[in-house]
Amino acid sequence: MQKNNRVQIFPSILAADFGNLSKAVTSLDGSGADAVHCDTMDGRYVPNISFGPMVVKAIKPHTSLPLCCHLMIEEPENYIDAFVDAGAFEISVHAEACVHLHRVIQQIKAAGVLAGVALNPSTPLCMVENVFSDMDMLLVMTVNPGFGGQSFIPEMLPKIAMARQMANELNPDLNIAVDGGIDVKTAPEVVRAGANILIAGSSVFGHPEGVKQACAELRSAFEDA
């Protein structure tokens, strides 16, 4: 995944209506969204349970957008193939959940999909410096993972800026994504810091005028900043 100079919006279906998930996913086509963000939680790595590869496979026919799967799970290496088979375009694993992170990144790439690494707010960037050149995407968590609808942690802005500086030196094509509390207020801040992928859940699916208007307002917020 070569870095896209155009900032991209990845709505997270964790905030969608699970009773009408296929409809929610279909609504993203033509909305201004660039991909669908799928949050998998196992109740062990994070204190919540969401969905697995069966749901990813089920929603795949309902959208033309790529599916990016964020695995908030222990031992993610055991589930890579299942998510690839389900139709994942990109898979992100947490550095904290991987004993052999480099090996897991190579496993994802060998399966034919893009590889991302996610970092919790308390995890320093030095934890992934040795794999910067191997990643397609670095996902900086701007909330503590496990639940949607949380407030943005502003102390993560210097971390995003430092990540972009490191990427410029080690991997200029690296995409830097941010996940957590992204809305019209925080979007300009993270883009200025160096993020080029915004993962947004509640601010998109909870918008009273629908996902298309939500994406338009989000894009306007950071493009006009």
Beta bridge partners of 141: 179
pLDDT class of 225 with cuts at 50, 70, 90: low
**Are the CB atoms for 198 and 10 separated by under 8 Å?**
yes
Q: Is the pLDDT of residue 37 over 60?
A: yes
What is the pLDDT, as a whole number, of residue 146?
72
Residue extents of the structural domains in the chain: 8-223
Q: What is the pLDDT of residues 94-121, one digit of tens each?
A: 999 999 999 999 999 999 999 999 999 9
For residue 5, the model assigns a pLDDT of 74
**Residue 22 is inside which H or E element, if any?**
helix 21-26
Average pLDDT, the chain: 96
d(CA 101, CA 106): 9
- pLDDT score for 44: 96
Instruction: Take residue 48 and report the two structure tokens written for it.
Output: 């919540």
Looking at per-residue confidence, does 5 or 38 come out higher?
38
What per-residue confidence (pLDDT) applies to 136?
Answer: 98
| Residue 155, burial from CB neighbour count under 10 angstroms (0-12, 13-18, 19+) | exposed
Q: Are 174 and 190 a contacting pair, CB within 8 Å?
A: no
Just list the catalytic residues.
39, 179
Please, which pLDDT band fits residue 150 given cuts at 50, 70 and 90? confident
CA-nearest of 76, 69, 54, 62 to 14 is 69
* Predicted confidence (pLDDT) per residue in 207-224, tens digit: 999 999 999 999 999 997
The class that CATH gives domain 8-223 is: alpha beta
Cβ atoms 187, 198 nearer than 8 A:
yes
Look at residue 3 and tell me whether its pLDDT is greater than 80. Answer: no
Is pTM beyond 0.85? Reply is: yes
Classify the phi-psi angles of 40: left when phi > 0, otherwise alpha if psi is within -120 to 50, otherwise beta: beta
pLDDT band at 145 (very low <50, low <70, confident <90, very high): confident
Distance CA 42, CA 53 (A): 12
Using the predicted structure, report yes or no on whether residue 92 has a pLDDT greater than 80: yes
